[in-house]
């Protein structure tokens, strides 16, 4: 069975470096990644990027988050346009797999109207808990669009053949998940915000903001074990690593060792 993966850059964010690396000075400009997985049994998007409203009025869309996030997001970089550049209709996406429910990972969900949302149960429940909406910076406007929702607990084999597997990597948020994909003989893991940067993976240099420090450390250990087992790890917002990742229309393939 053939499987193709495409990486998209759905905008950029500039934010204080200390948010991603505790104690770091200055700012970082980081990519907002999204991925299309084409499998013989269907299409899935892993993280959908920013909401299109942030192209024109980020302050209104992001509210208090706009005070420490500067958005660089142009027309044509939204997930629908990225898909259409590959002649894939957004209405033909079968699954949205959100790593978690923060604005830069699920803001494009609305553009994928017919997809089933695959989300960890504890993340979906957290995103509808009034206290956590406030403290963990959720915004239901990003993810409450009437999609069919399939809540999952722990690992989930998306297509039933072991090639695309959601893996729990809690800590950044209550129910964060990463995605393990087998491309030919290679294994690639998209971490989402379980691990922002290569420095986090290498040195356990944690961010300032996280929901549960112990769980995040355990998730990083799991990702390191996968790396040590031969998987390529694509950390969530690393601008240097991202330069090495082929962008659509080139397939994400033959990239083993690029990290």
CATH number of residue 125's parent domain: 3.60.15.10
SS3 call for 169? coil
- Could you tell me if residue 233 is inside a domain? yes
Domain assignment present for residue 249? The answer is no
256 within some domain: no
Mean pLDDT of 209-223: 96
Which two structure tokens, joined as six digits, stand for 38? 């084409």
User: What kind and span of H or E run contains 227?
Assistant: helix 213-228
Check whether 255 has a pLDDT greater than 60: no
State the average pLDDT for the chain: 95
Tell whether 49 is covered by a domain: yes
| Segment holding 46, helix H or strand E | strand 42-46
Q: Tell me which residue range forms the domain holding 92.
A: 4-242
Measured at the alpha carbon of residue 45, what is the angle toward residues 42 and 49, in degrees to the nearest 5? 165
pLDDT value of residue 1 = 54
CA distance 124 to 143: 9
- pLDDT grade for 95, boundaries at 50, 70 and 90: very high
Mean pLDDT computed over 233-248: 96
Spell out the residues 6+ positions from residue 37 whose beta carbon is closer than 8 angstroms to its own: 3, 4, 5, 43, 44, 45, 46, 164, 181
pLDDT digits (tens, 9 = 90+) for 118-140: 999 999 999 999 999 999 999 99
In a domain, 254, yes or no: no
258 lies in some domain? no
Number of structural domains in the chain? 1
List, for residues 106-115, the tens digit of each pLDDT value.
999 999 999 9
> What number of other Cβ atoms are within 10 A of residue 225's Cβ?
10
257 assigned to some structural domain: no
Supply the pLDDT for residue 257. Answer: 37
Per DSSP, the three-state class of 234 is strand
Angle at 186 between CA 182 and CA 190, to 5 degrees: 60
For residue 165, pLDDT over 70 is answered with yes
The answer to whether residue 193 is domain-embedded is yes
Does residue 115 contact residue 91 with C-beta atoms inside 8 Å? no
């Amino acid at each position: 069975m053939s499987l193709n993966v495409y990486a998209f850059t759905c905008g950029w964010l500039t934010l204080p470096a200390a948010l991603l690396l505790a104690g770091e000075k200055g700012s970082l400009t980081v990519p907002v990644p999204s991925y299309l997985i084409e499998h013989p049994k269907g299409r899935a998007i892993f993280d959908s990027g920013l909401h299109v409203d942030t192209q024109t009025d980020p302050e209104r869309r992001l509210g208090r988050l706009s005070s420490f996030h500067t958005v660089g997001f142009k027309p044509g970089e939204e997930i629908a346009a990225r898909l259409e550049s590959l002649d894939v209709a957004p209405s033909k996406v079968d699954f949205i797999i959100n790593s978690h429910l923060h604005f830069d990972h699920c803001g494009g969900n609305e553009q994928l109207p017919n997809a089933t949302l695959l989300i960890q149960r504890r993340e979906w429940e957290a995103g509808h808990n009034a206290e956590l909406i406030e403290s963990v910076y959720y915004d239901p406007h990003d993810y409450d669009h009437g999609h069919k929702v399939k809540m999952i607990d722990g690992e989930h084999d998306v297509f039933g053949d072991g090639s695309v597997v959601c893996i729990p990597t809690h800590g950044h948020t209550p129910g964060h998940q990463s995605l393990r994909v087998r491309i030919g003989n290679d294994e690639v893991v998209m971490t989402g915000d379980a691990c922002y940067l290569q420095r986090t993976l290498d040195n356990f240099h944690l961010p300032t903001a996280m929901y549960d420090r112990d769980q995040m450390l355990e998730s990083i250990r799991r990702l390191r074990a996968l790396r040590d087992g031969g998987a390529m790890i694509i950390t969530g917002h690393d601008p240097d690593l991202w330069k090495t990742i082929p962008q659509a229309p080139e397939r994400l393939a033959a990239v083993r060792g690029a990290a």
